[in-house]
Structure 1
Amino acid sequence: MRKLSLPAGVLLGGLLGGALDLVYAISFAATLGVTPVRVLQTIASGLQGADAYDGGNASAALGLFCHFAISVGWAGIYAAVAMRIGWFRERPMWTGPLFGIVVFLAMRCVVLPLSAYPRPVSFPPLSSSLDLLSHMFLFGLPIALLVARALRR
């Protein structure tokens, strides 16, 4: 198997984790009658506030870009930690889901409240539980596995 460079591991991990998380978010939203464009506009609302919902496809495209930029950024943070703490590269099956919990909490408790997101952050039991599981296994785990693979000697 060909060695994966660290930048490639970060990029691929961030893109894969971001894609899986977005597929989950769009699928869950669809069960509530929310369109994919609206989901992406909600992401863009972190920058644009409530105006994102009037921005049409341009706001949706901004939301898509932001989602993947943030995902790759989180993968970079995981890589920086894994380079310093061996357990993160040696045990990605454990640290990936733990990292997903950290990301979930950081996004909900720090990033969203500090952004222009136009609604109060809440934790409805069902959607929060499913979103937490998504962050653990669809976001954190792929990042951890790809970054750990890239860091192995």
Structure 2
Amino acid sequence: MKNINLIIKAGLIAGTLDIIAAFLNFYLKTGKNVTIVLKYIASAVFGKTAMTGGTDMILFGLLMHFLVALIFTILFSLIYSKLWKWFQNTILIAILYGVFVWSIMNLIIVPNSKASQIPFSWSAGLINCLILISCIGLPLSYLFHKHARSVKD
């Protein structure tokens, strides 16, 4: 039961940090309403229709965002002990997992969704990768390491 609580807590923290960073990044780049980010997430399922939708698409995008964050958290929970055995460094694990999440999202999930493709740029790719490292990789690595240490004590 403790692991389920840890997974939910970690998923909510990572998902919240990640969406806040995405909102901030989008707003600083465009000056536009950040709900566009959530509509874009919803467009993975609904295509261009999501971009003209209202509150329903915004809420669906938010739900999808947290679902994806939870899935990546569950995956992290399943592989954490192996990662720790191999690297024994929370920061290195955070970097590797952030890059892994970025790769899966940008090379597999988004291209195979109904979302419109955003042209790749190295600067945007680097910023997005750093967001995933700091908002998903670091919190997950820290929380699961802290949990593993508390179980040993």
Deviations 1:40-71 (A, max 9, x none): 00011111111111221110100001101110
Distance 1:6 1:150 in 2: 9
Which residue of 1 is the match for residue 124 of structure 2? 127
Cα distance, 1:17 vs structure 2: 1.3
Give distance in 2, aligned partners of 1:135 and 1:122. Answer: 19
Number of equivalences: 149
Residue of structure 2 in register with 1:75 after alignment: 73
SS at match of 1:114: coil
The corresponding residue for 2:7 is 10
| Secondary structure in structure 1 of the residue aligned to 2:110 | helix
CA distance in 2, matches of 1:86, 1:108: 26
Higher relative contact order (CA 8 A, sep 6+): 1
Q: Structure 2 length normalisation: TM-score?
A: 0.88
Partner of 1:101: 99
User: Do the aligned partners of 2:95 and 2:138 also contact (CA within 8 Å) in 1?
Assistant: yes
Question: In structure 2, what is the equivalent of residue 141 of structure 1?
Answer: 138
2:33 equivalent to 1:24: no
Larger CA deviation: 95-104 vs 5-14: 5-14
Structure 1 vs Structure 2 CA RMSD: 1.9
For structure 1, the 5+ residue unaligned runs are none
Counterpart residue identity of residue 42, structure 1: Y
TM-score (norm 1): 0.88
State the Cα distance separating 1:148 from its structure 2 match: 2.2
Aligned identity (percent) is 22
